[in-house]
Amino acid sequence: MPLPLCSVLVVDDEAPLRTVLRSSFAATGCDVEEARNGEEALDALQRRSFDLVLLDINMPGMSGLQACRKIRAAAPGMGIVMLTVRDDEDDKVNALEAGADDYITKPFRIRELTARLSAVLRRTRTSEPAAPTELRAGDLALDEEKRTLRRGEELIRLAPKEFELLAFMMRNKGLPLSHVKLLRSIWGPEYGGELEYLRTYVRTLRKKIEDNPAKPKYIVTEPWVGYRFIDPADENGIRAPSEPAQPSQL
């Protein structure tokens, strides 16, 4: 499925890649602008706002991480996805800590990139609900008002923190959630290093919601980074890391 109508700023020092991405996004009706580096990106953002920024992490001059921090400070609600040529876990963690919503490693398929951008766009375009809502994914239905979880017709009992952790993940489905972000969002700002604590809760959640906890389809691991909640029924969902990687066209 194509990227929903939106405005996109593509920031990369590789002109051929910018051209391909611009053509792909513009073909679906998106408003696309290009920037060759972080400085040009910031100049463009001073002139106008964008729904999404696709930002290369490795560029001459101002690095992508520096640009990401400045963009996030100036536009807290803007969607940012970072590109990296290295499948380096440190790059992924640094991108999230700089304020990126997601990341993708070159080379990549346009379909996967579009899915990542669409997931970020859904988050940025979703306003805070006026009342508690029901969250659905696959055969899961989580009612935030009644604080209940059903898996099909079965009522699943969750401890308070299990419920809060699952609800947070489902509200941010499709997006990478770092260990630190999860710990501080659910347990408080004084947390951040208690990784085994978080893993324990994820293990218990998987036992309750997954058909096979050893091969999860909902809560998948982002190695060295954290976790990502996936809706298996979502055609635009992110491919689980356990699935075979497909060859890239870019």
110 exposed, middle or buried (CB, 10 Å; 0-12, 13-18, 19+)? Answer: middle
Domain boundary among 96, 125, 154: 125
Q: What is the pLDDT of residue 242?
A: 44
Q: How many helical (H) and strand (E) elements, i.e. helices and strands, does the chain have?
A: 8, 12
Q: How confident is the model at residue 126 (pLDDT cuts 50, 70, 90)?
A: low
Q: What is the pLDDT of residue 236?
A: 55
pLDDT, average across residues 195-208: 93
Considering the domain architecture, whether residues 214 and 141 belong to the same structural domain is answered as yes
Is 52 a member of any domain?
Answer: yes
Considering the domain architecture, whether residues 108 and 142 belong to the same structural domain is answered as no
| pLDDT higher than threshold 80 for residue 120 | yes
Query: Cβ of 92: how many Cβ atoms within 10 Å?
Result: 26
Is 168 a member of any domain?
Answer: yes
Q: How confident is the model at residue 97 (pLDDT cuts 50, 70, 90)?
A: confident
Is 51 a member of any domain?
Answer: yes
Considering the domain architecture, whether residues 79 and 141 belong to the same structural domain is answered as no
| Side chain identity, residue 112 | E
Secondary structure E strands in 179-249: 219-222, 226-229
Q: What is the pLDDT of residue 192?
A: 81
Q: What is the pLDDT of residue 224?
A: 87
Contact in structure between 70 and 46 (CB atoms under 8 Å):
no
| pLDDT higher than threshold 60 for residue 72 | yes
Structure tokens at 162: 């299990």
Domain boundary among 105, 125, 145: 125
User: What 3-state class would DSSP assign to 82?
Assistant: strand
Q: What is the pLDDT of residue 243?
A: 40
Considering the domain architecture, whether residues 62 and 148 belong to the same structural domain is answered as no
pTM attached to this predicted model? 0.72
Q: What is the pLDDT of residue 247?
A: 35
Is 1 a member of any domain?
Answer: no
How far apart CA 201 and CA 165 sit, in angstroms, is: 8
Considering the domain architecture, whether residues 106 and 182 belong to the same structural domain is answered as no
Considering the domain architecture, whether residues 95 and 44 belong to the same structural domain is answered as yes
Among positive and negative, which fits the CA dihedral 39, 102, 95, 107? negative
How far apart CA 19 and CA 22 sit, in angstroms, is: 5
State what percent of residues in the chain have pLDDT above 70. Answer: 89
Q: How confident is the model at residue 244 (pLDDT cuts 50, 70, 90)?
A: very low
Q: How confident is the model at residue 87 (pLDDT cuts 50, 70, 90)?
A: low
CA distances from 205 to 163, 177, 208, 209, 215 (A): 9, 16, 5, 6, 13
Is 155 a member of any domain?
Answer: yes
Least confident segment among 54-58, 191-195, 223-227: 191-195
Considering the domain architecture, whether residues 20 and 62 belong to the same structural domain is answered as yes
Contact in structure between 83 and 104 (CB atoms under 8 Å):
yes
Q: In three state form, how does the secondary structure of 24-38 look?
A: HHHCCCCEEEEECCH
Structurally, how many domains does the chain consist of? 2
Q: Which pairs count as long-range contacts for 222-225, CB under 8 Å and 24+ apart, including other chains?
A: 222/92, 222/176, 222/177, 223/89, 224/89, 224/92, 224/93, 225/89, 225/92, 225/93, 225/96, 225/176, 225/178, 225/179
User: What 3-state class would DSSP assign to 80?
Assistant: strand
pLDDT, average across residues 104-120: 90
Considering the domain architecture, whether residues 143 and 201 belong to the same structural domain is answered as yes
| Segment of 79-93, 133-147, 228-242 carrying the highest mean pLDDT | 133-147
Domain boundary among 68, 91, 125: 125
Domain containing residue 196: CATH number: 1.10.10.10
Which residues span the domain enclosing 162?
134-229
Is 85 a member of any domain?
Answer: yes
Q: How confident is the model at residue 249 (pLDDT cuts 50, 70, 90)?
A: very low
Considering the domain architecture, whether residues 49 and 157 belong to the same structural domain is answered as no
| pLDDT higher than threshold 80 for residue 128 | no
Considering the domain architecture, whether residues 138 and 121 belong to the same structural domain is answered as no
| pLDDT higher than threshold 80 for residue 201 | yes
Domain containing residue 29: CATH number: 3.40.50.2300
Is 203 a member of any domain?
Answer: yes
Considering the domain architecture, whether residues 155 and 95 belong to the same structural domain is answered as no
Considering the domain architecture, whether residues 168 and 222 belong to the same structural domain is answered as yes
Contact in structure between 142 and 133 (CB atoms under 8 Å):
no
